[in-house]
Amino acid sequence: MTTDPHAAVANLARRLSGYVCEPGSAEYAKVVAIDNGRTRTPPALVVRANSYADVREAILFAQDRGLPMTVRGGGHSAAGYCLNRGGIVLDLGLMRGMTLDKGKDQLTVQLGATWADVYGYVDRSARPLIPVGGGCLPVGLPGFLQGGGYSFVSRSYGLGSDNVTRIRLVTSDGEMHTLTADAKEKLDRDLFWACRGGGGGNFGVAVEVTLQLHRPPAATVLGGGLSFPLERAEEVIPAYDAWAKKLPDAFAAYGYVGHDPDPAEPTRMIPSFRITPVYNGAYADGIAHLQPMLKLNPFDVRLYSVPLPTLEMAIGRSTLVGDRNAYIRSGMIEEKPGWTTDMIKAVQKAMAASPSKESFVVWTHGRGKVNDKSLAGQGPYPHRDKLFVFELKSIWGDPADTRANVEWAFDFGEALKKDFHGAYVNYIDPLQQDWAKAYYGSNLERLREIKKAADPDPAFFTFQQSVDSAFEPDVKNRPLDLAPLNRTLLPSS
């Protein structure tokens, strides 16, 4: 083993079918530029893997050199945990191969793919089948699926992770494991359970999954938006809440509070509450289900009959951060009581005080098939019974405004704390108190045991909020300690 780092990197590069990117190159800059301008953590080098052998080489190289390693799929980690400072980023973006088993309606996908890749392939090769995937097309599969993964059709078919039938995972010893529910080895069965809701980056590098596809009842879905002035929130949101609780599983009704264009003057933005309906069925039937909300006289109604990926592209585009700065919080809202008057007032108050008019809150409509008892033990995702998954997305332009926007968002989340019952690991938050219990609930200890078996001490796959981390943010004092937002690894590592 050479002690010359440049020679070591050159030797690694010769063993790869992919390639190495070092600081200063265009490819390096591309990988580091994730969907959050606030996070640009610079690794020592990037390995762009082009095969499973490359993944093994990168893992063993990092261990030989004593370097930390994180894994980048689509580059949409809410906290930037796919990057690290001074270590290696293993980028899977070149690995996008797919094969379709038409007899089983299953798609096997390499995990450098994004949902845009998957939807395009399925549309060309397997129409009318659909995967249970992300509503934002540039998002990669690894983090989404390993964190649970809500789709616009999850109320029809379950979480994205529920529809994973096989996973290929490279562990910290460089060995490839084929994970299924009935795998021969107990560790592989345990890892299959853990990797379907236990969060990305914890147990190894997932390099390939097999997804169960579904045949929808109609070629198109109903989708769009119904917007109401936010000043009517105390009237409209309780009506929405009661209506959403009674909808069939085929109907998801997401919520949004932010700013919508005035239909009469699109350059003027109106503080709004918007319902985003997605009906997995005939358009006319979806319209019939929408009648109670239409009777409340929204100021803007836009409804479409389109293929699901088309709708996902239109909606997902609006959630992208790009080069702007962002900080994300989350919370789970139970079916009873659902949206209370105090919660609605807290949202109105916070949104009126937002330092940035680009910030918004959005919530996913849960339950339905997600809450099917037959799925409850198939993975560690603990929030199947929650009705709404709340996401607060603070977005701003000038880095100098970071403290004002983060503290606003933190206080907003704290104002709703008594009404939240857990948090969503795919919206991972470095300032979330008691974060491990919030994300994993009663499954935390089993996840830690599986992690230790697959990645023995000293753990290789570790970061600030990996399942084995003892990190807790200090949020008792003001000004807030924002250091956890500026790192992915614990200071001691």
Q: Where are the domains of the chain?
A: 5-91, 98-212, 221-436, 442-486
Q: Residues of 225-246 as b/e, b for ≥16 C-beta within 10 angstroms?
A: bbbbebebbeebbeebbebbee
Q: Which helix (H) or strand (E) holds 141?
A: helix 141-146
**DSSP-assigned letters across all residues of 227-250:** EEEGGGHHHHHHHHHHHHTTS-TT
pLDDT given for residue 323 in this prediction:
87
pLDDT in the model for residue 492 = 65
The span from the CA of 91 to the CA of 326, in Å, is 22
The mean pLDDT value for 151-160 works out to: 98
Between helices 341-352 and 402-415, what is the axis angle to 10°? 170
How far apart are alpha carbons 135 and 139 in whole angstroms?
8
26 class by beta-carbon count within 10 Å (0-12 exposed, 13-18 middle, 19+ buried) = exposed
| Least confident among 198-202, 231-235, 249-253, 322-326 | 322-326
Q: What are phi and psi of 341, to 5 degrees?
A: -60, -40
pLDDT of residue 108: 98
Residue 318 in this model has a pLDDT that exceeds 80? no
* Burial zone of 205 (CB within 10 Å; 0-12 exposed, 13-18 middle, 19+ buried): buried
The dihedral sign for the CA sequence 130, 133, 136, 141: negative
pLDDT digits (tens, 9 = 90+) for 214-252: 999 999 999 999 999 999 999 999 999 999 999 999 999
CATH number of 98-212: 3.30.465.10
- Report whether pLDDT(280) > 90: yes
The confidence score (pLDDT) of residue 313 equals 76
Residue 417 predicted with pLDDT over 80: yes
Q: CA-CA distance, 79 to 484, in Å (whole number)?
A: 9
- How far is CA 8 from each of CA 59, 126, 174, 263, rounded to the nearest angstrom? 14, 45, 18, 60
Q: Would you state the structure tokens that stand for residue 271, as one six-digit string?
A: 């503080």
- Which tens digits make up the pLDDT trace of 471-492? 999 999 999 999 999 999 998 6
pLDDT at 2 over 80: no
Position 127 pLDDT exceeds 90 = no
What's the pLDDT band for 377 if we cut at 50, 70, 90? confident
Q: For the packed helices 115-125 and 308-317, what is the interaxial angle rounded to 10 degrees?
A: 160
Of 140, 161, 160, 144, whose CA–CA distance to 34 is shortest?
140
Six-digit token pair at 450? 């599986």
Instruction: State if pTM tops 0.75.
Output: yes
Residue 449, helix vs strand vs coil:
helix
* 382, 345 Cβ separation under 8 angstroms: no
Whether 90 contacts 134, CB under 8 Å: no
- Class of 5-91 in CATH: alpha beta
The pLDDT of residue 467 is 97
Per-residue pLDDT tens for 78-96?
899 999 999 999 999 999 9
The more confident residue out of 332 and 308 is 332
Q: What integer pLDDT is reported at residue 3 of this predicted model?
A: 67
pLDDT digits (tens, 9 = 90+) for 57-73: 999 999 999 999 999 99
CATH fold of 221-436: Vanillyl-alcohol Oxidase; Chain A, domain 3 (3.40.462)
- Give the model's pLDDT for residue 40: 83
User: What is the rounded CA–CA span in Å between residue 208 and residue 218?
Assistant: 29
E-only strand ranges, 111-264: 164-170, 176-179, 205-212, 221-229, 251-262
* Alpha-carbon dihedral sign for residues 365, 473, 147, 450: negative
User: Comparing 39-43, 88-92, 155-159, 287-291, which segment has the lowest mean pLDDT?
Assistant: 39-43
Q: How confident is the model at residue 376 (pLDDT cuts 50, 70, 90)?
A: confident
Residue 194 near residue 450 (C-beta atoms within 8 A): yes
DSSP-assigned letters across all residues of 279-299 = ESS-HHHHHHHHHHHHTT--S
The pLDDT value recorded for residue 137 is 86
For the chain, percent of residues with pLDDT exceeding 70? 99
Mean pLDDT of 405-431: 97
CA 159 to chain centre: 12
How confident is the model over 328-333, as a mean pLDDT? 97
pLDDT at 316 over 80: no
Average pLDDT over the chain, rounded to whole?
95
| 45 DSSP β-pair partners | 88
